[in-house]
Amino acid sequence: MSDFVNEFWNWYVILIVLVSVVACGVFLWFQSIHHSSSEQTTDTTGHVWDETLQEYNNPLPRWWMWLFYLTVFFALAYVSLYPALGRFPGIWGWTSTGAHKMEVEKAEAQLKPLFDKYLKLDLASVAADKEAMEMGGRLFQTYCIQCHGATGQGSRDKGFPNLTDKDWQWGGAPEQIVETISNGRTGMMPPYGGNPDAVGGEAGAKELANYVRSLSGLKHDADLATKGETRFKAVCFACHGMDGKGQQALGAPNLTDKTWLYGSSEAKIIETITAGRTNQMPAWKEFLGEGKVHLLAAYVFNLSSGGEKR
């Protein structure tokens, strides 16, 4: 790729653009000279169809010719003022990024009083405000649906959490939701497949999976689950606790609530144990600003049971 950003290609683009535009002007000029003797001529191109149908070599009307000249002058003015010649930024220094930034800043300045108004309210109050929820919904549809879906129900196949249920990996208190959206989260389940001493290889992973399924009351092999309990309390308790209810401070999921981010089948749980999982919630504070984050947090807070704490 570096071959296409050196100085040669910069001048290559400049020459192609300028030669093309100037060539159009030169061609028009030669046409004008060729037909300068008369507005009309009886010369033909020599093409004849259907015995008597001939193609005459008449000049373009003068007004039409000047329109073509005008397009050439316009093109030269445009590439001088705007960035159209390689790396040349144009006399006016205009950029699409700069124009977009100005538009965003103008819109932000107009909306700032409204954002500040809601920023002074707690999340529960904002969640109860219809206008605020309409704004929060539009923000959600713009920035969040790619992962969490249009309805906020996530995607189990890709490990994107459902925001409409009662389960929170990092906590569902207002300040915890704001923290999650503002600064992001990184959830990490270490892979134990490469450490057979920890879980006992494939057989041990199967025993652990059956024990984990038993914690949620799912169908399991009782003998395998009994063996898996010993392994769980030797390795997994550090994050998930002896009772398997997890630790929100660490982002360690509750394994007893029948809510599964990647699926609850034995195969899926074994895959999680052996290969591990890594989830990344991006940080939005710098991009969106405190006001939009506050509205988004209130909207997410409101997604489950009309704002009921979960």
Binding residues are 144, 147-148, 189, 236, 239-240, 281
Quickly tell me which residue has 């999982």 as its tokens: 277
Q: Look at the chain and count its residues.
A: 310
CB neighbourhood size of 232 (10 A): 21
Q: Could you give the residue ranges of the DSSP H alpha helices within the chain?
A: 7-34, 62-81, 96-119, 123-127, 130-143, 145-148, 174-183, 196-199, 201-215, 222-231, 237-240, 266-275, 285-288, 290-303
Residue 194: other Cβ atoms inside 10 A: 10
Binding-site residue ranges for heme c: 144, 147-148, 189, 236, 239-240, 281
Return the closest-CA partner of residue 216 out of 260, 256, 244. 256
Sequence-separated contacts (24+) of 276-280 with Cβ below 8 Å = 276/188, 276/189, 276/190, 276/191, 276/192, 276/193, 277/159, 277/187, 277/188, 277/189, 278/186, 278/187, 278/188, 278/189, 279/159, 279/185, 279/186, 279/187, 279/188, 280/184, 280/185, 280/186, 280/187
Residues 252, 297, 105: CA angle, nearest 5 degrees: 130
How far apart (Å, rounded) are the C-alpha atoms in residues 9 and 61? 39
By C-alpha distance, which of 266, 153, 158 is closest to 212? Answer: 266
Residue located via tokens 């000047």: 66
Per the structure block, which two tokens stand in for 127? 């969640």
Distance CA 275, CA 255 (A): 18
Question: What residue type is 41 in one-letter code?
Answer: T
